[in-house]
Each structure stands twice: as C-alpha cells, then as structure tokens.
Amino acid sequence: MKKTVLVISFFIAISVNFAHSQNTQSGNQNNSEQGFTNAATFGFSPQASGIENMNALQKAVDKTGTIIVSTPGVYHVAGTVYVGSNTTVKFGNGVILKKVNEQGPFSHVIINKGAATKTYDEHIVIDGLSIIVNGIDTRTFKEAYGLHGQLAFFYIKDLRIEHFRCPDLGPAQYGIHVCTFEDIVINDVIIKGLKDGVHLGRGKRFTISNGVFETFDDAIALNAHDYAVGNPELGWIEDGVVENCHDLNAEKTTGFFCRILAGAWLDWKPGMTVQQSDAVVSNGKIYRVSMKADGKTYKSVTRPDFSNRQMTLDSINWVLVQNDPVYTCGVRNVTFRDIYLEKPRIGFSVHFDNDRFSRSYYPGAEVPKQEQLVFDNIRVLHNKPIDFLSVNTPMDVVTIVNSSLRAGGINFHGNKAMNDYLETIINMSNCVFNQPGKMTLLKNSVDGKRITLKTSSSVAVNKDFIAVTVPGNGIIKVQSDLKGIENRQIMKSKK
C-alpha cells in the first residue's frame, strides 16, 4: 500500500512539474510575441485612407520595440510618421508607402521624434521601406530648417537603414537625409529621380553600401557645408566608408556621383558684408543669411543674437543654425571603395560653392583642409573626357589604388576663394589606364598650387598611351612609372 502511494505521488509530482514547465514556456512565448507589434492591429491597411494609415502607423511605432508591416500592398500615407528611440520598423516584401495629398503637402514620410527639439534619438532601424513620392515633393521645414529628405533623421545615434527603395524623387527632396549623427549604416538602396539619393550633413562614423543610383543630381552628397536650405547644421563629416555603389547612366544630369563640400566662416563684425547662405558666429551661436539667391550683398550692422528660429535685422533675414561655434567644416578620413561610374559626369567633386546660392568660404576665414580621402577600386565605365576627380579646395593627401581610369583625370581648379590652396600629395598605385593615346592625367589652374604626384605599379592597356600633366601657374613634382611623364619638377615657364 505504501509503495502504491509513493508511485502515485511520484507521477503526480512529475505531472505538476511538466505542467509548470509547459506554462512557463507558453508564458515566455507570449512575452516574446509581445516584443513585436503588427501595425495592422491599429488599422494600417492597403484599404485605408492616407490619414487613417498615418495615424495607425504612428500608434504602432509609439509602442517602440519591433513594428511589422507584413501584408503586401500599396499603403497611402498623408503625413509624416515620427519614430523614437529603441524602435525597429520592418516592412515586408511587396509593401509600398505612397504619399498622397489628403490634408495638404508634406515633406518627410518618416523622421525621428527628436529632430524638432535637437534631442538625440538612439537605436532606430528602418528595414524594407519603399516609397512612392507621387509628386508630393515639397520642403516644409516644419521640424528643422534645411532638412528635407523623404526619409530624414536629425540628431541621431546608432541608425540603420536597410533595403530602401524610391523610384521617383522630385526636384526638391532628397531620398535619405541624415545630419548631426553618430554611427549610421545605410545599406542596400535603390534610388532614382531628380534630387540627391543619400545626403549627409555633419556627423561621424558612417557606412553607405550596396547602392544603385540613377539621379539627376548627386547620387551621394557629403555636404559638411551647404546651401542655407541644404542642411540644418554645419560641421565635419568624418570616419566613413562608401562602398559597392553604382552610378547608372541617364540622358540628362547635373551634380556628381559624390559631392564633397567644405566651408569656413568668421565671427560676426559690425559692418561686414554678407550674402545668401553666409554663416557667422555670434555670441557662441552660428547664424546664416536666408535671402533670395540673387547674388545681392548686404551690410550687417546689428549683431544677430537671438534664440528663436529666425529674425530680420537690417533687412537681413537671419536663421539660427546651431549653438556650438565651429568655424570650419569638411570631409576627412573617408574611403570610397568598389564604385562603378557609368554616368558621364564628374565622379568625385571636392569643392567650395561660390555662387549666388552659397559662398562656402568667407574671405579671411581659417582654411579648411579636407583630409585623407582614399579611392579604392573605382571603375570608370564611360569614355567621355570628364574629370574623374575635380578639386577646388585645399586637400592634404589623395590616395587612388586598384582603380581603372579612362579619358578623365584629376583637375585642380580654384574659384578665387583664397590665396593659398596649400600643397596636395597624390599617391596612385596599381591603377589601370585604358585611354588610347594621350591622357591629361593631372591638370592645375590654381596660381601657386603645389602638387606632388606619385604613381607606381601602373598598367597601360594601350601601347600608345601617354600621360600628361599640365601645371598651369603652379608646380607639379612627379615620381612616376607612366610613359610621357618625366620624373622631375614641372612648372610653367615664365616669359
């Protein structure tokens, strides 16, 4: 009898423990499922209106965690959705967001919540987003003056954008716009249309990879400086990689595959002359002129010193840009790797603006030297005699390795922004030169410019290939293994 009771008690204990284990596993599974939010539960649907979808997706992302949109279809959206920290939004295959005008035009499809208050958001992932702009292409500058990406982030850390698609950019808005950032990854994008594909403002540590671009304007813009309406803040862009990107051919074009823009400005002084987009530092803040782009200059008598967004002083409309008083900006420590240039336009432009839209360098400011740019395995796939690399700012060292060039070479040209463009060293190694006959490998038109050119392990495909350098009114020192370039100092002879 005792043995029977013991056996029954044993099986009862096992059953209780098993049931407890099953309940625990079920509870864990339920808790795991609670970490994911399906936007459909809030009414996000291909059948809903743009306003309904905007509100539904906003409710979903407000939950933070991981938000999923899984049902294929075209989802109308009639306004901006604001994403906060610790949020992943995953769009499944066949999910497309289409902008519609149900309550007036709007700029951003998605933007981070901290953009309007300059408060950092962290740990955000946007995965699988496809946008149809549908002609809703406008700059409202509601959250931040100068921010106008379809997908936009301002004051952001630890951002990842994966599998982004946009086939119809208009002439006003960029595809992806990120400014004032740390640690961002933009991977696997296909962007087509009329404006910049990926446009970065100031920030550090970034990767742009696996991109296909067919854009009328810049495929990629690293704009440390910019037009007054081009970026919300100014500062250095540094420590990054741009890799495995394709610049597809198109009938019409402007801009470059990559724009690399620098700038510098001064402390405000009474009586100084300013023009559209000029920046000044005043009492520890940066202010910019926001006027018509007509080339008109203005005399500034009253110091800009205010905390609201903008103010008109001496008939000059000033915009408050930022509270940290940097005086120079540019691009440094960036590697471009595995780039395929099909479109016949300048591949890489390292420059200042100096026109009616913007004056990147204010006369007398500290010279901003763009530093340590590396070009690795760049493939020029067109035969037009267009610059591979165009430079009109000071640079320290340019490294070009494992690349394949055709008719276009390197062109240094000033825009009269400063008296001394400093010395630049160009180091080319393991490069293939495909041009038959003569190629102008290096041309200079900057007075007094000093350039050192070194080439090694070069390969000329055609036996009649000859490399030429044109020093202009500067000096070029050459150490080269290429036919046609003598290893000596070359300078224009004085008459």
| Residue 398 domain-assigned (yes or no) | yes
pLDDT of residue 5: 40
**How many Å apart are CA 425 and CA 183, to the nearest integer?**
30
β-sheet bridge partners, residue 412: 391, 444
- Check whether residue 446 and residue 352 sit in a common domain: yes
| 216 closest CA partner among 173, 272, 152 | 173
| Residue 51 domain-assigned (yes or no) | yes
| Residue 491 confidence (pLDDT) above 80 | no
Task: Give the model's confidence band at 250: pLDDT under 50 very low, under 70 low, under 90 confident, else very high.
Answer: confident
- Check whether residue 103 and residue 230 sit in a common domain: no
| Residue 261 domain-assigned (yes or no) | no
- Check whether residue 97 and residue 43 sit in a common domain: yes
| 277 closest CA partner among 216, 171, 359, 222 | 359
Over residues 313-322, the mean pLDDT reads 95
Q: What is the mean pLDDT of the chain?
A: 91
Q: Which of the pair, 19 or 172, is modelled with greater confidence? A: 172
Contact criterion met (CB below 8 Å) for 164 and 176: yes
| Residue 429 domain-assigned (yes or no) | yes
Over residues 374-379, the mean pLDDT reads 98
Over residues 470-475, the mean pLDDT reads 93
- Check whether residue 379 and residue 423 sit in a common domain: yes
pLDDT of residue 488: 67
- 208 lies in which domain range? 196-253+330-495
- Check whether residue 449 and residue 364 sit in a common domain: yes
| Residue 484 domain-assigned (yes or no) | yes
- Check whether residue 343 and residue 432 sit in a common domain: yes
- Check whether residue 379 and residue 465 sit in a common domain: yes
| Residue 493 confidence (pLDDT) above 50 | no
400-441 pLDDT, tens digit each: 999 999 999 999 998 777 888 899 999 999 999 999 999 999
pLDDT of residue 35: 67
Over residues 229-245, the mean pLDDT reads 97
Angstrom CA distances, 143 to 136, 147, 195, 275, stand at 17, 8, 20, 25
Share of the chain above pLDDT 90, in %: 85
Over residues 42-56, the mean pLDDT reads 98
| Residue 235 confidence (pLDDT) above 90 | yes
Number of structural domains (the chain) is 3
- Check whether residue 114 and residue 228 sit in a common domain: no
pLDDT of residue 148: 94
Over residues 193-213, the mean pLDDT reads 98
Residue 108's CATH number: 2.160.20.10
| Residue 243 confidence (pLDDT) above 50 | yes
Tokens matching residue 227: 């037009």
Cα Rg of the chain, angstroms: 28
